[in-house]
Amino acid sequence: MRLLIKNGLVVNADGQAKQDLLIEGGRVKRLAPRIEVEPTCEIIDAEGCYVMPGGVDVHTHFNIDTGLARSCDDFFTGTRAAACGGTTTIVDHMGFGPSGCRLRHQLEAYQGYAAYKAVIDYSFHGVIQHINAAILDEIPMMVEAGISSFKLYLTYQYKLNDDEVLQALHHLHRAHALATVHPENDAAIKQKRAEFITAGKTAPRYHALSRPVECEAEAIARMINLAQLAGNAPLYIVHLSNGLGLDYLRLARARHQPVWVETCPQYLLLDDRCYERDDALKFILSPPLRNASNNDALWCGIADGGIDVVATDHCTFSMAQRQQISGGDFSRCPNGLPGVENRLLLMFSNGVMTGRITPERFVALTSTNPAKLFGMWPQKGLLAPESDADVVIIDPKRTTTIRHEMLHDNADYSPWEGFICQGAIRQTLSRGRVIYHNGKFTGSAGQGRFIRRQPFSAKHAPASGTHFNERNQ
């Protein structure tokens, strides 16, 4: 199958040019100012549009069972929504398995969840929920199987203590794997939650008050120091929500530590005033939404290179689930927000179209940097000969109003309801096949492939905090 995208502005993380793009056999064949092909070639005219690498979302939670509830998006509805929002690859954070289970247990379970369902290409992060000799010995085998990043939790049911974190960091570093960390101070959260619950303060706003900025920032600082003690092990901080944590990360980079950081659209565009709304249960997630000054601090990180990746942490529990399970009590409410379909357009509208970031920086944050960090580049995150023909075409002249009734996930609400975005996702291509076209999903379940990711390599990773360091030298 041959397909030619003509007249578009092709954007990669390192530059842009008005070019035609020829696709053959699911890969990019050629880019040139003008390409002529025989009449049998299918043609997409992208005049006036951006032609960009498909989005790479490295933080989703599909089909996750938290113990309280199972999320309502599985690997079909979740990846369908991703595809309709211009995302062509996801790396899902696997949930906890049974107590004492081996690492491969969850990998095998999740392979079963995704096979024959995923619409787009996918991989998984390993999850380390306890430490013993068998688990540590299993890490290199997981890396060999294509799982080159692992999640460590500092809170929740299977949190790791500092000794366990140090052991994990040492062994992950040795196995050429990247440690991704959910950083919150578990003891402080437990104490504050207990105080609020004892006082009968269980409204949604107390969720945010029970997990203040300091709980997250302290854990970030602790992880930075533990990574240094573990032989300068590479470290990736997930879903950063506040400026103080970003300050600690900047200090680490000034010491030339290999640390990278991810944030999410909700921490850039929503704030804690959502907890005063009648539908506040919709916005319970961890870490919680912060105040507007933290939004501003994170936008500075987006602009100056302090933040490397924008992902979603898509974890969908319907409003009906939330109300039924919690009865309005924040401490019993499942955590997480939907958003995998909205990430690219929100960032394009609020970043590129406002002049906060360039189109190249947008591609770096949403596609190239995550592909590099998680062992998928140059297959993903790049439009160049021999890369996968994963493409999103964005029309900057159109306007999109987000309405949940128009989305493709399995939730019953959107936190982005009514947001007006300058721009529209026109087409999404996965390995050369159009899977979304002008509002219509055209893909099919099972066409997504498992990506065996390469071992982590600092050589291929994006330069950590480049813009910030250059500006301040």
**What would the pLDDT profile of 83-113 be if each residue is shown by its tens digit?**
999 999 999 999 999 999 999 999 999 999 9
Indicate if the alpha-carbon torsion angle 269, 271, 276, 278 is positive or negative.
Answer: positive
Q: What's the confidence (pLDDT) of residue 76?
A: 98
Q: What's the confidence (pLDDT) of residue 125?
A: 98
Q: What's the confidence (pLDDT) of residue 143?
A: 98
Q: What's the confidence (pLDDT) of residue 39?
A: 81
Q: What's the confidence (pLDDT) of residue 464?
A: 65
pLDDT at 336 over 50: yes
CA 8: distance to chain centroid? 27
Q: What's the confidence (pLDDT) of residue 211?
A: 98
What mean pLDDT, rounded, does the chain reach? 96
Lowest mean pLDDT segment, chosen from 12-21, 264-273, 419-428, 459-468: 459-468
Please report, rounded to a whole number, the percentage of residues in the chain having pLDDT higher than 90: 95
| 249-258 per-position pLDDT tens digit | 999 999 999 9
pLDDT band at 68 (very low <50, low <70, confident <90, very high): confident
Please report, rounded to a whole number, the percentage of residues in the chain having pLDDT higher than 70: 98
Q: What is the 3-state secondary structure (H, E, C) of the chain?
A: CEEEEEEEEEEECCEEEEEEEEEECCEEEEEECCCCCCCCCEEEECCCCEEEECEEEEEECCCCECCCCECCCCCCHHHHHHHHCCEEEEEEECCCCCCCCCHHHHHHHHHHHHCCCCCCEEEEEEECCCCCHHHHHHHHHHHHCCCCEEEEECCCCCCCCHHHHHHHHHHHHHCCCEEEEECCCHHHHHHHHHHHHHCCCCCCHHHHHCCCHHHHHHHHHHHHHHHHHCCCCCEEECCCCCHHHHHHHHHHHHCCCCEEEEECHHHHHCCHHHHHCCCHHHHCCCCCCCCHHHHHHHHHHHHHCCCCEECCCECCCCHHHHHHHHCCCHHHCCCCECCCCCHHHHHHHHHHCCCCCCHHHHHHHHHHHHHHHCCCCCCCCCCCCCCECCEEEEEEEEEEECCHHHCCCCCCCCCCCCCEEEEEEEEEEECCEEEEECCEECCCCCCCCECCCCCCCCCCCCCCCHHHHHHHC
Q: What's the confidence (pLDDT) of residue 40?
A: 84
Does residue 287 have a cis bond before it (omega within 30 degrees)? yes
pLDDT at 180 over 50: yes
Q: What's the confidence (pLDDT) of residue 191?
A: 97
Q: What's the confidence (pLDDT) of residue 168?
A: 98
pLDDT band at 465 (very low <50, low <70, confident <90, very high): low
Tell me the average pLDDT across 37-66: 95
| 131-159 per-position pLDDT tens digit | 999 999 999 999 999 999 999 999 999 99
pLDDT band at 169 (very low <50, low <70, confident <90, very high): very high
Lowest mean pLDDT segment, chosen from 40-44, 173-177, 238-242, 381-385: 40-44
pLDDT band at 470 (very low <50, low <70, confident <90, very high): very low
pLDDT at 399 over 60: yes
Q: What's the confidence (pLDDT) of residue 240?
A: 98
Tell me the average pLDDT across 363-368: 98
pLDDT at 363 over 50: yes
pLDDT at 460 over 90: no
pLDDT band at 1 (very low <50, low <70, confident <90, very high): confident
